[in-house]
């Protein structure tokens, strides 16, 4: 039981600090000058699941021989509040990583939200995205699914299981049930498919794998894979291992991020 009583009007307790520096207001908090490297694509990110999506895509483009997809990768340390600096907020007003600027155009193009960055790169370089309407629509089904589903895994289950200041039965049970439902969904979907979109590896795999594949591998939220009995999802596990063996994916997980300071 909790002693908490819901107030009639919520007020922000400015003394209540959290590890990610969240506040109920948007916008920049300090002046910042982000570095700009020599390559066309400037990526400001971190090795979180959302950051890994873009890193995987960029390394897959390199593996595919796309020379014009060269990039500089800078570390936005979200634990230190880099995402609230003026330059970063100018790229992504939502203050979330990853964010990217494409300097190959007449005017620089900002791109934020991880799946949108995947789509931008896929369309720009015509890689890892189907061309027929039906296949492209199926791809979009799963991209939109990931953007809607993953917050239940991360901000829901992951937060209450691994980061909350004390264990709470109700939210852990609620989000564990939803996470297992999502794992079961993916496992059923992959029963007769090599990849999310069928026979072809696409940005749908790159979007989903850093969340659900890494969870199945035991690389998210401590011992969450054991807690959720992730090994039971055999089709999902085979897909996870298949993606994890790709050279570009291995490189993406071990990239060095340049310091912005």
Of 5-14, 45-54, 99-108, 249-258, the range with the lowest mean pLDDT is 5-14
Residues 6+ apart with CB under 8 A from 7: none
The 10s digit of each residue's pLDDT in 100-115 is: 999 999 999 999 999 9
The 10s digit of each residue's pLDDT in 86-145 is: 999 999 999 999 999 999 999 999 999 999 999 999 999 999 999 999 999 999 999 999
The first and second tokens of residue 151, run together, are 């917050």
pLDDT at residue 4 above 70? Answer: yes
The first and second tokens of residue 79, run together, are 């634990």
pLDDT at residue 9 above 70? Answer: yes
What's the mean per-residue pLDDT of the chain?
A: 96
Axis crossing angle, helix 114-125 with helix 49-63, rounded to the nearest 10: 10
CA-to-CA distance for 144 and 141, rounded, in angstroms?
5
Q: What is the pLDDT of residue 18?
A: 73
Cβ pair 56, 117 in contact under 8 A: no
Bridge partners of 258? 74
pLDDT at residue 21 above 90? Answer: no
CA-to-CA distance for 222 and 215, rounded, in angstroms?
9
The 10s digit of each residue's pLDDT in 200-248 is: 999 999 999 999 999 999 999 999 999 999 999 999 999 999 999 999 9
CA-to-CA distance for 197 and 129, rounded, in angstroms?
10
| Mean pLDDT along residues 21-38 | 95
Q: What is the pLDDT of residue 14?
A: 85
The first and second tokens of residue 74, run together, are 């800078």
Residue with tokens 């900002």: 110
Residues 6+ apart with CB under 8 A from 99: 43, 44, 45, 76, 88, 91, 92, 110, 111, 112, 117
Ramachandran angles phi, psi of 30, nearest 5°: -160, 160
Cβ pair 210, 148 in contact under 8 A: no
CA-to-CA distance for 34 and 258, rounded, in angstroms?
11
The first and second tokens of residue 168, run together, are 């709470």
Longest dimension (CA), the chain: 59
pLDDT at residue 171 above 70? Answer: yes
The 10s digit of each residue's pLDDT in 180-201 is: 999 999 999 999 999 999 999 9
CA-to-CA distance for 40 and 197, rounded, in angstroms?
29
pLDDT at residue 48 above 90? Answer: yes
The first and second tokens of residue 122, run together, are 């896929």
pLDDT at residue 1 above 70? Answer: no
- Sign of the dihedral defined by the CA atoms of residues 115, 117, 120, 125, in that order: negative
Residue with tokens 């796309």: 66
CA-to-CA distance for 231 and 228, rounded, in angstroms?
9
Residues 6+ apart with CB under 8 A from 119: 129, 143, 203
Q: What is the pLDDT of residue 120?
A: 98
Q: What is the pLDDT of residue 16?
A: 75
């Amino acid at each position: 039981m909790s002693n908490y009583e819901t107030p009639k009007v919520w007020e922000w307790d400015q003394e209540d600090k959290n590890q990610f520096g969240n506040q109920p207001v948007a916008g920049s908090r300090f002046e910042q000058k982000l570095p700009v490297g020599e390559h066309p694509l400037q990526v400001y990110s971190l090795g979180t699941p959302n950051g890994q999506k873009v890193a995987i895509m960029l390394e897959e483009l390199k593996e595919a021989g796309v020379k014009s997809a060269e990039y500089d990768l800078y570390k936005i340390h979200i634990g230190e509040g880099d995402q609230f600096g003026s330059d970063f907020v100018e790229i992504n007003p939502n203050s979330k990583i990853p964010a990217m600027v494409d300097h190959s155009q007449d005017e620089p193009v900002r791109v934020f939200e991880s799946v949108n960055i995947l789509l931008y790169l896929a369309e720009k370089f015509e890689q890892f995205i189907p061309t027929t309407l039906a296949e492209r629509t199926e791809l979009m089904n799963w991209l939109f699914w990931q953007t809607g589903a993953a917050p239940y895994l991360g901000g829901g289950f992951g937060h209450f299981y691994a980061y909350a200041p004390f264990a709470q039965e109700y939210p852990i049970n609620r989000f564990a049930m939803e996470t297992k439902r999502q794992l079961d969904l993916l496992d059923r979907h992959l029963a007769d498919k090599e990849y999310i979109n069928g026979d072809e590896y696409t940005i749908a795999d790159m979007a989903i794998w850093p969340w659900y594949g890494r969870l199945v591998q035991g690389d998210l939220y401590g011992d969450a894979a054991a807690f959720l009995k992730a090994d039971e999802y055999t089709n999902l596990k085979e897909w996870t291992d298949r993606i994890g063996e790709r050279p570009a994916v291995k490189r993406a997980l071990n990239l060095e991020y340049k310091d912005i300071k």
